[in-house]
């Protein structure tokens, strides 16, 4: 049964075997937590939707809730409304967005970072080999204030380039529009996230104008020294109401980590699942499987990766404090199981 990405309701039935489980609970040292009536998961329209979809498709969260809602946020305004109104329990989003919502008093706490790089410079000119080679060129970047834009500005400045004067930076309305521009020949060089980076390369590989992955953002960061070794791009937050159920949060964290591991171990199967169950995203199994292998995935609990995450957010603040909500989030931002 395919997922409907605008609004999906998966009803998780309580089977007759629960009678046996009930008997086991009676003799257990500590009973399992009581499941909630409903759980709501929200993900962005991209690869980070895949682990969430895996959890729903495979009924991995039946110990948390009897009914699961899963849908996608499509733009920052919709995401803000979801957080402000408390319309979800677990949401995947960029790390700086999580910091903004925390610092503005909306109560979210970061559970993990699972994506550490997803960005590339794609160009028809394969002579580009480093960010410094972008000087004097026209480069299209997805909309201002997005993670691709912030990373582009940060790496540009770290390389001694002003993105507004040393590079002819232009903005595309969305990553999808930037991809369309380079495919049509309107743009020569663009910044793209996965899976779009892999997609445009595959679409042109046998053409007279093949596109190339010329710069990896994670490689550029690694060459900048110890200021920020890795880019903590995106992870999952837990909203205030769910924080009152730490045992259930722990179950979710374990299952989400397992979902990321399954996806990395089985990229072909993950691609098939995405094509079948996330149809409105337009994922195709083959390109999606290849794209997953071009993303730096690693599940790291926020409480364990706080230093690296904080270092990344601190470096983003050199662009403007506003990009993380005015200040570095304090220790309570990093969920550790305590209220």
306-316 and 95-103 helices cross at what angle (nearest 10)?
Answer: 80
pLDDT computed for residue 26 by the predictor: 39
Residues of the chain with CATH 3.40.190.10: 8-117+233-333, 119-222
CA distance 288 to 146: 22
Torsion of CA 303, 305, 308, 309, to 10 degrees: -60
Tens of pLDDT along the chain (339 residues) come to: 445 433 344 333 333 333 334 443 433 455 678 999 999 999 999 999 999 999 999 999 999 999 999 999 988 899 999 999 999 999 999 999 999 999 999 999 999 999 999 999 999 999 999 999 999 999 999 988 899 999 999 999 989 999 999 999 999 998 999 999 999 999 999 999 999 999 999 999 999 999 999 999 988 888 776 556 689 999 999 999 999 999 999 999 999 999 999 999 999 999 999 999 999 888 899 999 999 999 999 999 999 999 999 999 999 999 999 999 999 999 999 999 988
Match domain 119-222 to its CATH number in 3.30.930.10, 3.40.190.10, 2.30.30.180, 1.10.357.10: 3.40.190.10
Q: What is the pTM of this model?
A: 0.89
pLDDT computed for residue 183 by the predictor: 97
CA angle 142, 148, 152 (to 5 degrees): 105
CA distance 257 to 301: 9
pLDDT computed for residue 13 by the predictor: 33
CA distance readout (Å), 298 to 258, 292, 318: 11, 12, 26
pLDDT computed for residue 229 by the predictor: 66
Domain over 8-117+233-333 is classified CATH 3.40.190.10: yes
């Amino acid at each position: 049964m395919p997922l409907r990405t605008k609004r999906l309701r998966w009803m998780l039935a309580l089977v007759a075997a629960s009678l046996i489980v009930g008997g086991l609970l009676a003799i257990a040292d500590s009973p399992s937590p009581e499941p909630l009536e409903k759980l709501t998961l929200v993900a962005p329209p991209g690869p980070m939707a895949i682990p969430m979809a895996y959890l729903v498709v495979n009924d991995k969260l039946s110990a948390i809730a009897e009914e699961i809602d899963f849908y996608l946020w499509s733009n920052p305004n919709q995401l803000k409304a979801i957080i402000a109104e408390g319309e979800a329990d677990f949401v995947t989003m960029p790390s700086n967005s999580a910091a903004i919502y925390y610092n503005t008093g909306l109560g979210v706490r970061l559970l993990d970072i699972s994506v550490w790089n997803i960005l590339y410079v794609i160009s028809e000119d394969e002579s580009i080999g480093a960010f410094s080679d972008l000087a004097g060129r026209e480069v299209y970047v997805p909309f201002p204030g997005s993670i691709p834009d912030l990373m582009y500005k940060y790496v540009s400045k770290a390389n001694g380039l002003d993105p507004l004067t040393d590079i002819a930076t232009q903005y595309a309305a969305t990553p999808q529009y930037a991809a369309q521009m380079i495919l049509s020949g309107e743009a020569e060089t663009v910044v793209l996230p996965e899976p779009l980076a892999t997609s445009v390369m595959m679409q042109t590989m046998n053409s007279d104008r093949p596109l190339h992955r010329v710069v990896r953002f994670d490689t550029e960061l690694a060459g900048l020294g110890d200021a920020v070794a890795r880019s903590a791009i995106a992870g999952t937050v837990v909203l205030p109401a769910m924080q009152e159920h730490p045992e259930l949060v722990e179950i979710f964290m374990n299952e989400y980590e397992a979902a990321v591991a399954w996806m990395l171990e089985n990229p072909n199967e993950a691609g098939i699942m995405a094509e079948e169950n996330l149809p409105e995203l337009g994922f195709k199994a083959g390109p999606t499987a290849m794209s997953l292998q071009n993303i730096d995935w690693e599940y790291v609990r926020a409480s364990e990766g706080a230093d690296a995450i904080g270092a990344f957010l601190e470096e983003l603040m050199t662009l403007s404090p506003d990009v993380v909500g005015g200040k570095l989030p304090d220790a309570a931002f990093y969920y550790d199981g305590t209220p």
